[in-house]
Amino acid sequence: MYFVNLMSIKSFDKDLLKSLDSLLVNFHSSAELFTPIRVGKNLNIPKDLSYQLLLSAREVGVVDTVFVRKCSNCGKLIKFNGSNAVCPVCRSTNFKEGYYFTTDLYKREMMYQ
């Protein structure tokens, strides 16, 4: 177990928590942001269950949420700071806003600037 705090979550099956641990290690090593939909597909569980699982992991300090904008044209994720008027890659002004999960709790302020 890499994220040992996951085992303190009592409301989920231990095998599911071990699978989540393996998945989070992969996300952490590649510094990726992820959604409950992606976690659900990788773990073969419903979206609602993966959302509850990630919220429980956030409560024990394993993951955190980051508010980002995603460019509708090129898919670039940009940390939302209020002054992002255009995408730095394609200069588009079409964004989708939302929350993503991250395992990088200490350097998340520096991600996707």
Structure tokens at 75: 């898919």
- Alpha carbon 90 to chain centroid, angstroms: 24
Domain annotation covers residue 1:
no
Domain annotation covers residue 43:
yes
Please list the residues that pair with 70 across neighbouring strands. 77, 96
Domain annotation covers residue 27:
yes
Instruction: Indicate the number of domains in the chain.
Output: 1
pLDDT tens-digit readout, 57-75: 999 888 888 888 888 999 8
| β strands within 1-113, DSSP E | 64-71, 77-79, 95-102
Long-range contacts of 35-44 (CB under 8 A, 24+ apart): 35/100, 35/101, 36/101, 39/101, 43/16, 43/19
Predicted pLDDT at 108? 45
- Alpha carbon 68 to chain centroid, angstroms: 11
The residue range of the domain holding 101 is 13-107
pLDDT tens-digit readout, 2-59: 677 888 888 888 999 999 999 998 888 777 789 999 999 999 999 999 999 999 999 9
Rounded Cα gap, residues 77 and 86, in angstroms: 12
**CA nearest 99: which of 76, 67, 58?**
67
Query: pTM for this structure?
Result: 0.77
Domain annotation covers residue 3:
no
